[in-house]
Amino acid sequence: MRQLIAGNWKMHCLAAEAVALAQGIAAGASGIGAELLVCPTALHVAAVAQALQGSNVAVGGQDCHQAKQGAHTGDIGGPMLRDAGASWVILGHSERRQNHGETDELVREKTLAAVEAGLTPIVCVGETADQRAGGQETETVGWQLAGSLPKPFTGVVAYEPVWAIGTGKTATEQDVATMHAFIREELVRQFGDAGQIIRILYGGSVKAANAASLMAVPNVGGALVGGASLNAEEFLAIARAARAG
């Protein structure tokens, strides 16, 4: 299956910068066979969607509420993201889990809400440095998968070791191979045959220089890219290193 290269722009870019970044990516994306996605702040989803119209780059949100609508000050519902032009949403990112106390149960509810709204969820899992140092990385990820994914699950999983996010420390190919094989096993255990085709992205300090070797690891279905996705040329170089079919 072709790989998905998703840019998580996090809390970066004012409106004009977001539109310019989207235009830069769209301009170089036409010959790229990998599936492409950018996830700006929700505030800029509509403008970025408009800038990407007619291109092969999709737009997603970075979070959505578990309810469709209601008295939830400051929150954003899945149907609102969809209405603004998003077709994807990142859920349960470690920064949401850490900064906003999101639990596996909440992530599962948000995933259901996202699917209900017509969005494809990218559900993030990953261990901290302490958990890895304690030899608990697979156990941690196993619990996150069991708790965060509803049945059936029609989205994508992203493995993002917390210690590799924004640190320049990439997991080794061996670490990635071991964890992605474990995640595949868990997905098959949870979902049977359907678990064989769920894409598993790797995220954590992915850049053009390491993309080709990471994308070649078995069970890697693409990348979730933070910092390097804020530069159109760098993001496109990562996308060119991905599998087109």
Q: Pick from 61, 121, 161, 204 the residue near ligand 13P by CB under 6 A.
A: 204
Name the token pair of 14: 């004012």
SS3 at position 8: strand
Phi, psi of 43 (to 5 degrees): -60, -30
Residue at shortest CB range from ligand 13P? 226
Q: Pick from 227, 232, 235, 239 the residue near ligand 13P by CB under 6 A.
A: 227
The nearest distance, CB 69 to ligand 13P, in angstroms, is 27
The answer to the question of residue 63 lying near ligand 13P (CB under 6 A) is no
CB closer to ligand 13P, 66 vs 229? 229
The answer to the question of residue 160 lying near ligand 13P (CB under 6 A) is yes
Q: Pick from 49, 222, 226, 238 the residue near ligand 13P by CB under 6 A.
A: 226
C-alpha 79/C-alpha 197 separation (Å) is 26
Name the token pair of 44: 């800029």
Stretch that binds ligand 13P, among 19-27, 181-189, 203-211, 235-243 (CB under 6 A): 203-211
Task: Quickly tell me which residue has 């596996």 as its tokens.
Answer: 104
- Closest by CA to 217, choosing from 229, 201, 228, is 201
Annotated catalytic residue 93: yes
The answer to the question of residue 26 lying near ligand 13P (CB under 6 A) is no
C-alpha 83/C-alpha 50 separation (Å) is 12
| Dihedral, 12, 18, 22, 24 alpha carbons, nearest 10 | -90
C-alpha 187/C-alpha 153 separation (Å) is 9
Stretch that binds ligand 13P, among 100-108, 146-154, 182-190, 219-227 (CB under 6 A): 219-227
The nearest distance, CB 26 to ligand 13P, in angstroms, is 21
Cis upstream peptide for 152 (omega within 30°):
yes
Sorted by sequence, the CB contacts under 8 Å of residue 99 that are 6+ apart come out as: none
Stretch that binds ligand 13P, among 99-107, 128-136, 159-167, 187-195 (CB under 6 A): 159-167
The answer to the question of residue 92 lying near ligand 13P (CB under 6 A) is no
The answer to the question of residue 206 lying near ligand 13P (CB under 6 A) is yes
SS3 at position 61: strand
Residues in the site for ligand 13P, rule: CB under 6 A?
8, 93, 160, 165-166, 203-206, 224-228
Could you list the active site residues? 93, 160
